[in-house]
Amino acid sequence: SPTETQRCIEFLITVFQKQGGKESYSYTLSKTEFQNFMNTELGAFAKNQKDPSVLDRMMKKLDLNSDEQLDFQEFLNLIGGMAVTWHESFLEVAHSHKQ
């Protein structure tokens, strides 16, 4: 049976495929699909942004090949960046409780 890590990877693939490919290329996220993903899957992050152009700038930064689509590798850069940020926040909270 798959390990917890394997299940997490499979889940990320499933989420990416479910969100992408509706507008144009299959298995990529268009700008609109990216915004929908951010609002549905990472809604708390998206709603906390005071500048409405944050998602546009994120898409441009993540779109390494400038094709106006996010492929799975570019999507993983987003997930990895979010995971690092949340991990650092977790460490800060854990550290503050020890003092």
20-62: pLDDT as tens digits:
877 766 789 999 999 999 999 988 888 888 887 999 999 999 9
Task: Give the span between the Cα atoms of 35 and 23, in whole angstroms.
Answer: 13
- Cβ–Cβ contacts within 10 Å for residue 81, how many? 13
pTM of this prediction? 0.83
Q: Does pLDDT of 95 surpass 80?
A: no
Write down the pLDDT at residue 46: 81
- Give the pLDDT confidence score for residue 4 in this predicted structure: 97
Mean pLDDT value across residues 54-75: 95
Report pLDDT for 77: 97
- Asked whether the predicted pLDDT for residue 99 surpasses 90, the reply is no
Longest distance between any two alpha carbons in the chain, whole Å: 52
Q: Which domain holds residue 71?
A: 4-98
**Where does residue 16 rank: exposed (0-12), middle (13-18), buried (19+ CB within 10 A)?**
buried
Question: Where are the strands (E) in 44-98, listed by range?
Answer: none
Instruction: Name the domain count of the chain.
Output: 1
CATH of the domain at 19: 1.10.238.10
